[in-house]
Chains A and B, each alone.
Chain A
């Protein structure tokens, strides 16, 4: 196919590795690649490996919590497991997976030949493995890895941490740099490389949500970098940003961290909204309801996300006025979020629905994310949050929005676009097993966490009182089952990468609409070298 393209676009290209028949063989292809599809694939595999790594740590946590008493790990290692599990899942699994999807899809959706800054794209991926190698290596150093929770509150992470903290700080810096580069690339691409006729309000919602996410990233990743740098200087260079003895304030750390941290949780969910808004209309065979309101809702969620950070800090002793302000602002954010859910339901309403695997994941997303969102609304109510805060109720809440939210949306996206990427339909039997096993086990895993949390079990503890024993057993069993279910996904992905399966049409799914469904399946190495015209 490339020869034809070559003869028509001879003068477009000087760089040899842009052409499929000149792709360097073996590892060099992946090391040197500037192709958005290759880089997308790298990101997605990296995210999946990190998901399995962080998942393995979750299995250690759940094995220890299977019954009361200390059986398998000591408390210090337990804390390292929760911390590194959290860091890996957030920065290593969810964020790179979304960046991988953006790489694959944004150029194809807006009719661009590639990302705007391909070499930076290569860099932003290839520094990531180093960041996580450093983080994981710290687990094997004397004193072990970070043990202060993914939120690394000072002074636990400063005065009271071990020297491995320096490695943690360095790793986070690299992750941040990678995210910022990725975000810049997305913004520049969307601003400059839309095909003629692809006006703002014609952009697919995945593009919109990623554009807004990219701005959030650029706004808050530097704040995270500032926070880790202050931790570093407090610990090693005698500053006292967070030490009252030197005129600092440990609560200020939390303000800085959550000023990053709250927008961060929207960074992990806005692209998911984009994915669900693509999948639901396809399988309902009906246009997305309220496209414009979806765009405005996304933008208002993003703006509001900057003024709610202290809802993570209600027990730190803030003045009542501040508590009220953050409570009201947080409650307000549930309005645009609700609008999104209502719009999806309205899209399904009087459609003509079929339930292929991507749709199954999308429907599970809507139900389970809504549960997570509603428990989030409960957490916003300050006087009650005094009870919920730092218990398993919170652990349940954020896993509903992150696992059955972000992760399920990523899985939905992979199943939806995989046939376009490989040209072959994935193994539908395995995919259904993967879905149903995940759906059942994830609820056995996370639903009872609400109960133990309400009954009073604090989070981040390696051992617990006897009244929590029964539920924890169920939670652990659900955890192991969910972990094992992901191996089905692994098997399916390996098959897909070996290009096994039935060939698919260009449109793949009967109801699919959008530029990416107009190019051949599998998507050619270079798509849209001449921009399409969008009517």
Chain B
């Protein structure tokens, strides 16, 4: 408890209150999500009324028509009129559900004329966001520490629902999401927006939202996508349009700077210690989910890097696998996900950690020549 209190201020920025006893669907923050909520309540009430009717009739009969009360069985066992009635009446009730549902659906599926378009790509186990109208793109990964999951640290309020870089969208504008996947099927879902949409590899789905209020909205991947399906959250920050524009231009500047920085790093050499400590960070953030923190992988599912021939001998192949992945397997291409110096560091790390002790030190320029030389 004390530790929980002490760590709380650190996360003050993200800690909106947990609704401990939320029983019902959220009303959400868009007109559509409110429509969905109303439709849900309509359905719920109709179902409760039908259910109550059936159960009351049944319990009346169970009470009054008991043998122990001396009830004598009646003789009727057929009535076409009654059968027709309880076929036709439910049918009419269904029409009263179907019409509003149809109208709402048609509104939801109209993703035309967006103000902002964002390409959302799922991959095991992170989301990639690319703003189609600006030069901004990045990965968004879960930020909850492994120690909180294993119980070594207390869990903070947004446990499992926090990411390193949230998606940022403007309020009051129609934002269209183009949703796809690089590997298996994922599903992009923020309950406050009132929809989820599958991310299918090789196909693009679209969906849209128009958020009314600025705020932080959280969701999760909703389609089983392998081992860490439960650890693939989504966080969306909705900002006023002016702030959003400011944010976008900042990001553009940052991404350009990063490119320049990468060129500068090409000319520099890391020491072994620098490479190892940077490599360890990169490894734990990107690779440990499959190859495990101890480098032993999951036998039969993800190969061990500890003692692997590729990690202790064949260095060009090692770099090649990192840059291009292994097609037809879960091993992704990291050329676009990591910078050259990051790739150099993680390769160095893998070649020297867990007793792999090759002593190899790979530099950013080696990666650069691997990219250009082939």
Residues of A within 8 A of B (CB): 68-71, 75-76, 79, 141-144, 147-149, 153, 155-156, 159-160, 162-164, 243-245, 249-251, 284-293, 315-317, 320, 323-324, 327-328, 331-332, 334-335, 338-339, 341-342, 345-355, 363, 366-367, 370-371, 374-375, 377-378, 381-384, 386-387, 389-391, 451, 454-456, 458, 460-467, 470
A-B pairs, 4 with minimum CB distance: A143-B300, A244-B202, A461-B230, A317-B205
Task: Given A143-B299, A250-B185, A352-B72, answer yes or no on A338-B90 (Cβ-Cβ < 8 Å).
Answer: yes
Excluding A315-B223, A456-B220, 12 further A-B contacts by CB distance (< 8 Å) are A69-B151, A160-B330, A250-B185, A286-B77, A316-B200, A317-B200, A335-B87, A367-B58, A387-B194, A454-B23, A462-B230, A464-B230
Contacting pair B77 A338 (CB below 8 A):
no
Contacting pair B67 A465 (CB below 8 A):
no
| Nearest B-chain residue to A354, judged by Cβ | B67
Contacting pair B198 A317 (CB below 8 A):
yes
Contacts of A286 in B (CB 8 A): 73-75, 77
Contacts of A148 in B (CB 8 A): 224
Contacting pair A320 B106 (CB below 8 A):
yes
Contacts of A390 in B (CB 8 A): 187, 189, 196, 222-223
Contacts of A323 in B (CB 8 A): 105, 109
Within 8 A of A (CB), among B149-197: 149-151, 155, 157-161, 183-185, 187, 189, 191, 194-197
Contacting pair A350 B73 (CB below 8 A):
yes
Contacts of B183 in A (CB 8 A): 155, 159-160
| Nearest B-chain residue to A323, judged by Cβ | B105
Contacts of A466 in B (CB 8 A): 18, 155, 157, 159
- Residue in A162, A290, A366 whose CB lies within 8 Å of B83: A290
Contact with A along B81-103 (1 / 0, CB 8 A): 01100110011001001100110
Contact with A along B345-358 (1 / 0, CB 8 A): 00000000000000
Contacting pair B229 A460 (CB below 8 A):
yes
Q: What is the bound-complex CA distance between A165 and B34, given in angstroms? A: 43
- Residue in B54, B159, B224 whose CB lies within 8 Å of A153: B224
Contact with A along B287-329 (1 / 0, CB 8 A): 0000000000011110000000000000000000000000011
Residues of B within 8 A of A (CB): 18-26, 35-36, 39-40, 43-44, 47, 50-51, 54-55, 57-58, 61-62, 65-68, 71-79, 82-83, 86-87, 90-91, 94, 97-98, 101-102, 104-106, 108-109, 124, 148-151, 155, 157-161, 183-185, 187, 189, 191, 194-198, 200-203, 205-206, 219-231, 298-301, 328-330
Task: Given A285-B67, A328-B98, answer yes or no on A384-B201 (Cβ-Cβ < 8 Å).
Answer: no
- Residue in A70, A288, A367 whose CB lies within 8 Å of B149: A70
Contacts of A315 in B (CB 8 A): 187, 196-198, 222-223
Contacting pair A383 B226 (CB below 8 A):
no
Contacting pair A386 B24 (CB below 8 A):
no
Could you pull out 15 A-B pairs where Cβ atoms are within 8 angstroms?
A: A75-B230, A144-B300, A147-B227, A250-B203, A335-B94, A350-B61, A367-B58, A383-B104, A384-B101, A387-B196, A390-B187, A455-B23, A456-B219, A458-B189, A463-B160
Task: Given A351-B65, A353-B71, answer yes or no on A389-B21 (Cβ-Cβ < 8 Å).
Answer: no
Contacting pair B74 A351 (CB below 8 A):
yes
